[in-house]
Amino acid sequence: MEKFIIAHMYPALMNLYGDRGNLVCLKKRMEWYGLNCEIKSIHLDEKLDFSQIDMIFMGGGSDREQGLVYHDLLKKTDQLMAQIESGLPALCICGAYQLLGSYYKSHEGTVMDGLGFFPLYTEGREGRLIGNILIESEFNGQKVSVVGFENHGGRTYFSDPKLQSLGQVIIGHGNNGEDQSEGMRFKNLIGTYLHGPLLPKNPTLADFFVYAMADRKGLKLEKVLDDTIENLAHEQVRYKMISGQKS
């Protein structure tokens, strides 16, 4: 059986808001598809050959943790970006998403450099953008709703309008609470502020990563999973938000 390895980047530092549940979801869905999946934890100063893994996942962390992770990732940027360009699947949540840009400027004015992978930047403001969020996204030519929970003080903006967002905000705040964009998307990489965790309530998004990993190994998944429970959880969150907006 083909083995897949998902690298969990800095689990001791970037671990806010239950985001590890995304890995539990991915591993279980891959097992249901008949695939062998290993979650490999990667820590500070640990070497990693990105060409030997099938996906990377990194959650959110505080400013201090982001600084530590930035300096460690800086040693790996060339190899990492080369693999992202070649289609390596990646899910980066909140602080990990912010690190992909050129910089993060705190509300107090402190500037922390980002990895500069994509033309975006983040600025901290007074007050946090908190609450359930509903966005509309598109996968395989089909528009789908994506639900989650956001809790961030930073406002992220795109320097290049050609950069693709994950989706359009229907209810909630998104990247900055101003332009109705949420997250970013590049090939098989997704950066987002959606916590929760995100994937258990959004099986279409979870399978985006599963299929991307399988495709890179030349595997075609024939099995269709029964997502009745997952879709029910999704619809309950979606219905609650829409009903709350109407009341």
Tell me, letter by letter, the H, E, C secondary structure of 85-141: HCCCCEEEECHHHHHCCCEEECCCCCEEECCCCCCEEEEEEEEEEEEEEEEEEEECC
Residue pair 184/166 in contact (Cβ under 8 Å)? The answer is yes
Per-residue pLDDT averaged across 123-136, rounded? Answer: 94
Over residues 26-69, the pLDDT tens digits come to: 999 999 999 999 999 999 999 999 999 999 999 988 778 888 89
Which strands make up the sheet holding 36-42, listed edge to edge?
36-42, 3-9, 55-58, 90-93, 189-192, 184-186
Least confident residue range of 12-16, 120-124, 182-186, 227-231:
12-16
| Distances 225 to 55, 67, 230, 233 between C-alpha atoms, Å | 21, 40, 11, 16
Say if residue 183 is exposed, middle or buried (CB neighbours under 10 Å; 0-12, 13-18, 19+): buried
What's the pLDDT at 155?
97
What's the pLDDT at 199?
96
What's the pLDDT at 247?
62
User: pTM above 0.85?
Assistant: yes
What's the pLDDT at 169?
98
Per-residue pLDDT averaged across 144-153, rounded? Answer: 95
Judged against a pLDDT cut of 80, whether residue 16 lies above it is answered with: no
What's the pLDDT at 15?
84
Closest CA to 70 of 20, 122, 19: 122
Q: Does the CA dihedral 159-164-166-171 come out positive or negative?
A: positive
- Strand 90-93 relative to strand 189-192, pairing: parallel
Residue 183 has which token pair?
Answer: 């997250």
What's the pLDDT at 244?
82
Confidence of residue 235 (pLDDT cuts 50, 70, 90): very high
Per-residue pLDDT averaged across 210-217, rounded? Answer: 97
Beta bridge partners of 5: 38
**Structural domains counted in the chain:** 1
Over residues 62-101, the pLDDT tens digits come to: 778 888 899 899 988 889 999 999 999 999 999 999 999 9
Q: Rounded to 5 degrees, what are φ and ψ at 184? A: -145, 160
What's the pLDDT at 1?
67
Catalytic residue annotation: 94, 195
CATH code, domain carrying 17: 3.40.50.880
Confidence of residue 156 (pLDDT cuts 50, 70, 90): very high
What's the pLDDT at 245?
78
Residue pair 205/194 in contact (Cβ under 8 Å)? The answer is no
Judged against a pLDDT cut of 90, whether residue 198 lies above it is answered with: yes
Residue ranges making up the domain that contains 26: 3-246
